[in-house]
Amino acid sequence: MLSLFKRLCVVAFITLFTHAQHYPMPVLPEEIIEETRPVVWNFGVSFGPRIFVNDSIDFTDEFFANNNAVFNQEDVNQFEPGFVLQMSFRGDMDRYLYPGISFGLQFEYMFTYVDDVQLQAVDALQNVVFDFDDDFITSHSISLTPTAYLRFFSLLEHMFPSVLLPNYFETFMYIGCRFQYNLYSDKAGDGLEIEDFESFNIGYEIGIGTEWYLWEQWTFSSTLSYATNISDFSVEVGGEEIFSAELDLTAIRLMFGMHYYF
């Protein structure tokens, strides 16, 4: 019985081998492979703090110098770090452009709280004619950022096919132009009023990151980015402008996110 089984296996192997010699598997040309490669889309949600912040408000005296007083900007850098919530959509354009190049769109919400601002003005006799020490403003920023990505491992894999690269994560960098709309809540007391706040501004963002492949179409990412956000406004007391000011919320952000490929 065993001998018969061995004979059948030999016959089956010879038959399959002969069939493969006469009907080999088709080999697709490279251009056909490129045409049939699907475009890979990526949707992600990220969250993280603003770190290494250099937040500041630069006040320019519009009143006291004309009234024989000296204005001192004592401390306007006591900012809470705040946080960033981000949704991203990205398409890997390997099929249409060059492997490793992607384009995307980021939608972001950023919260920052400015507290403990200290301002003071004194006259020629060193009498205090203006003194402010209080919370100042709460900022809510919404931004839309078209982005361009460079995925390093995908690029190197295409340029050097014989080089073995890790297949469980990807590294990337990106750059984008930020279109930002800033909302604010006036927290200033002592009769100060924030006016003419520049709601819309254009900045830029640049970042680097790593994306780890988890299971099926899911990945986890960590990103370190630098984003600018600068707005002008004025400060009034009793309807009269006493300061023009610039609010700088530029910061480095550390983001962690989950992404789904489809």
Q: Hey, which residues does 141 pair with through a beta bridge?
A: 110, 182
**Tens digits of residue pLDDT in 80-125:** 667 899 999 888 776 677 788 899 999 999 888 777 677 778 877 7
**Tens digits of residue pLDDT in 177-192:** 999 998 887 666 666 7
- Kindly report whether the global pTM for this prediction surpasses the value 0.95: no
**Of the candidates 104, 120, 123, the residue with the CA atom closest to the CA atom of residue 174:** 104
Structural domains of the chain in order of their starting residue, each with its CATH number: 41-261 (2.40.160.20)
Q: What is the radius of gyration, based on Cα positions, of the chain?
A: 30
**Tens digits of residue pLDDT in 36-58:** 445 678 899 999 988 766 677 88
Counting residues of the chain whose pLDDT is more than 90, the rounded percentage is 24
* pLDDT number for residue 79: 58
Average pLDDT over residues 187-214: 84
The residue count of the chain comes to: 262
Distance CA 23, CA 218 (A): 39
